[in-house]
Structure 1
Amino acid sequence: MLRLSRTSKIVLGVVVAIVLAFMYIPLALVVLNSFNSARIVSWPVSGFSLEWWGKAFTSEPVRAALLNSVLVASGATVIAVILGTLVAFALQRYSFFGQRAVNLLVVLPIALPGIVTGVALNNTYNQLLEPIGIQVGFYGMIIAHGTFCIVMVFNNVLARLRRMNPSIEEASQDLGASPWQTFRLVTLPQFRSALIAGAILAFALSFDEVYVTIFTAPPGVDTLPLWIMNQMARPNEANVVNVVATVVIVASFLPVWISQRLGKEVDERD
């Protein structure tokens, strides 16, 4: 076990404290300003008020943007779960020509800058599909998000499949189980936690995507990140934005906690 000197521990502790402060003090300011009685963001907070919370929860644009974000993220997650799992099984269980190329093509969208993906999809929708009468509309935005969310599920499931013992499935089939029974009772329980963790990450990635959404959202349709970005240009609405951001911050703890728990369960099982 590596042992650090007292000086090293102090230096490491100071560095960690600075990094954590740099990360979380701005978030704390967002939360505090959501209760600020002033009409504009200010520091120190001039007084305590729930006025902005009331306006945020009764705002129709906020509710519409939140609903759009949930629908898009849910649709993208479904696409990612289905396609990401299928591709992971194909690359893990079979050998075929172009296997490495397929692996690269699946991972590539997450490596590309979001603005490049957004421009490419926008050109495809507007210059290729619309002239032949195909209007993708809201579904086009879901498909666009699904293209980079697949990687989250694919990586998690593929990593788990590589750690599975194939002899367990072979034993199930030798004992007379059908392929579906083997998958449902033997295979799925072994990679289910990785699948759920990947789905959660895919949902979170889609929920806060901005660049791809800007280029693929239909006219007049805002997701929550787009609504926040548009409202930041209005100083009088900044504290309402802080309320929405505070809710998102609190809600973000749940998927992170679930993902950590699922990852811990996988490690303990192994």
Structure 2
Amino acid sequence: MHLSRAARIAVRTAAFAGLVVIYVPLLLVLVDSVNADRTFGWPPSGLTLRWWADAWDDSGARQALWTSVRAGLGATAIALVLGTLAAFAVHRHRFFGREAVSFLVALPIALPGIVTGIALNTAFRTVLGPLGVGLGMVTVIIGHATFCIVVVFNNVVARLRRGQGSLEEASMDLGADSFQTFRLVTFPLVRSALVAGGLLAFALSFDEIVVTTFTAGAGVRTLPIWIFSNLARPNQAPVVNVVAAVLVLLSVVPVYLAQRLTSDSPSAGRL
């Protein structure tokens, strides 16, 4: 498609404006995390790492970080297993309801978080409540896994569609059994997609707050919930900015690595 010079300028201007709206606030969070002024005046009166030290000494923030990591790892593990199985089933087999499976797997990430949170809260209280199991870490992990599955599913399906089924058939023709074919042919084919999907799933879980609010109960505080609950406390403002900066950095890294792994560049497979 050929665009006129005016159209190209308009598209570039709109793209630049969009990037400014998205990334300037994130940069301000990073700057405020080292701003010596407690009131965060602009421009900064000086730079300091004092707030980072205070954040590290805050036991509540450290506990919330560890809680988010555990929830992210648990949700990612579930998403990798279920998302991969669903991807292989949808791609390799033809059965009644195949399209419905694809739709149902993708639906949780498309629904508003508050709808998913309310539905999960009701389901957990109805099903687990009579068994004496309350809201906690397990329900948070299950809740996060519901929308993390789709990123693994999409990555694995995309890789399988780009792969060559003839390689597996050749492996079987040469005498390899099913396990050997999976280990030597199939798994290397989808390995980078699994890593990319796992990284994206962890990033989604790590910064989730809406679903977590409805599934965590009173005893579980993830890092986003800790930030939200401390926003109204003026004395905690510098520490909150540091924790928010850490959250930004820890979310950017897996997304960047996943993008590199799923790109078509020759260097993508080396990560």
Gaps of 5+ in 1: none
Amino acid at match of 2:193: A
* d(CA) in 1 for partners of 2:253, 2:229: 27
Report deviation, 1:252.
3.1
Match of 2:225 in 1: 226
Label 1:40 to 1:256 Cα distance change in 2 as closer, same or farther (>3 A).
same
Amino acid at match of 1:228: I
Per-residue CA deviation, residues 18-39 of structure 1 (Å, 9 max, x unaligned), is 2222222212211111122222
Gaps of 5+ in 2: none
Match of 1:67 in 2: 66
Identity of aligned residues (%): 53
Larger CA deviation: 24-33 vs 12-21: 12-21
Output aligned runs, 1:1-270, within 5 Å. Answer: 2=2, 5=5, 7-135=6-134, 137-265=136-264
* d(CA) in 1 for partners of 2:3, 2:135: 59
| TM-align CA RMSD | 2.2
Report deviation, 1:177.
0.3
Per-residue CA deviation, residues 182-212 of structure 1 (Å, 9 max, x unaligned), is 0010011111111111111111001111111
**TM-score, structure 2 normalization:** 0.91
The answer on whether the counterparts of 2:33 and 2:245 sit within 8 Å (CA) in structure 1 is yes
Paired positions, count: 269
* d(CA) in 2 for partners of 1:10, 1:107: 36
Report deviation, 1:10.
4.2
The answer on whether the counterparts of 1:141 and 1:216 sit within 8 Å (CA) in structure 2 is yes
**TM-score, structure 1 normalization:** 0.92
The answer on whether the counterparts of 1:31 and 1:246 sit within 8 Å (CA) in structure 2 is yes
SS across alignment from 2:139: helix
Report deviation, 1:181.
0.4
Per-residue CA deviation, residues 59-88 of structure 1 (Å, 9 max, x unaligned), is 100110000000000000000000000011
Report deviation, 1:121.
1.2
Amino acid at match of 1:204: A
The answer on whether the counterparts of 2:65 and 2:223 sit within 8 Å (CA) in structure 1 is yes
Label 1:56 to 1:264 Cα distance change in 2 as closer, same or farther (>3 A).
same
* d(CA) in 1 for partners of 2:107, 2:93: 21
* d(CA) in 1 for partners of 2:268, 2:165: 16
Label 1:254 to 1:38 Cα distance change in 2 as closer, same or farther (>3 A).
same
* d(CA) in 1 for partners of 2:207, 2:251: 11
